[in-house]
Amino acid sequence: MAHKIAVIGGDGIGPEVVAEALKVVRAAGVELDTTDFDLSGARYLRDGTVLPDETLEEIRAFDAILLGAVGTPEVPPGVIERGLLLKMRFALDQFVNLRPFSLPEQGIDFLVVRENTEGTYAGEGGFLRKGTPNEIATQGSVNTRLGVERVIRYSFELARSRPRKHLTLVHKTNVLTFSGDLWQRTFDDVAADFPDVGTAYNHVDAACIYFVQDPGRYDVVVTDNLFGDILTDLGGAVSGGVGRASSANLNPARTGPSMFEPVHGSAPDIAGQGKADPTAAILSAALMLDFVGESDAAARISAACAEPVSGSTAEIGDQIAARVAG
């Protein structure tokens, strides 16, 4: 039976890389029933629409969402990010952001699990005396025991499934003494249920150094929303570049569809020129297939992407599709 996939090409190079990802999925022999949704910065500029509630409800019925990239310089910061991406994450309870990093020739093979619905991204805060010399802006970090525990437990389960069986918590407990305390206590409590998983703790500033100088030390990393956002971009930079960095926004309980997207942005400066590397989108599609139960096809696609290829966007997609098809 075909998997129902909501496709959001988005802006810039987004539609180009998604087209190649779908090409490779079909080369793997997986049947998809796709529906395209016109959600993007361009759509917002055209008619003021970001993500209508009725469209969100329609998307709930799909097995997964494959997204290219959204954002255009003409749209003010935060409009698309909060109105589309964060709205879907919150509404569909995609509380895990999973990003794999692999560069075997340098001994890099680790996963970062980022809490995806709380922290500074929850939207708590505001202004006082805005526009005056005495202006005050606050941006709170919201951390709940439920939200922290479920992402930590997911991370322990993930670490247990891997050969090294090791999980590192990254935070800033020496300064963020309230949220950090909650994260550390919860981590320690959940660790008692996983005696076979080794554990470690790094302050986030130390983790940034280790990501650059010694990324091979990591197996699975769990962290909060803001630290995860920053660390995962750094992880992409040290493991082949953001052109190869994939991600998954997961609802592990499967009460709504999960969303899969490359880490890179919409790159409007090269849109339509065939210069975009679609590998990250293809690897994101592989994550999607694994999540919907097509693990064999996912593994073949990931293996086909192990050796970098060059060429135009379509040529790279063709070469990877040929590898997958055998």
The verdict on whether 205 is a catalytic residue reads: yes
Q: Torsion angle, CA of 233/298/94/203, rounded to 10 degrees?
A: -40
Looking only at Cα atoms, what is the longest distance across the chain? 65
Question: Rounded distance, CA 136 to CA 129, Å?
Answer: 7
CA distances from 153 to 118, 165, 194 (A): 16, 14, 9
| Direct distance between the N- and C-terminal alpha carbons of the chain, in angstroms, rounded to an integer | 23
Q: Give the 3-state secondary structure of residue 41.
A: helix
Question: Rounded distance, CA 48 to CA 51, Å?
Answer: 10
Are 55 and 47 in contact, with CB atoms under 8 Å apart?
no
**Of 307, 282, 309, the residue nearest 20 (C-alpha):** 282
**Of the residues 93, 154, 172, 290, which is catalytic?**
172
Rg (CA), the chain: 20
**Of the residues 36, 205, 269, 296, which is catalytic?**
205
The verdict on whether 218 is a catalytic residue reads: no
The verdict on whether 318 is a catalytic residue reads: no
The set of long-range contacts for 105-109, using a CB threshold of 8 Å and a minimum separation of 24, is: 106/215, 106/216, 106/239, 107/216, 108/215, 108/216, 108/238, 108/239, 109/216
Beta bridge partners of 260: 66, 248
The verdict on whether 201 is a catalytic residue reads: no
The CA-based angle 289-313-45, given to 5 degrees, is 85
The verdict on whether 121 is a catalytic residue reads: yes
CA 51, distance to chain mean position in Å, is: 19
**Of the residues 11, 44, 109, 121, which is catalytic?**
121
**Of the residues 165, 210, 233, 318, which is catalytic?**
233
The CA-based angle 62-66-67, given to 5 degrees, is 130
Q: Give the 3-state secondary structure of residue 240.
A: coil
* Residues classed as catalytic: 121, 172, 205, 229, 233
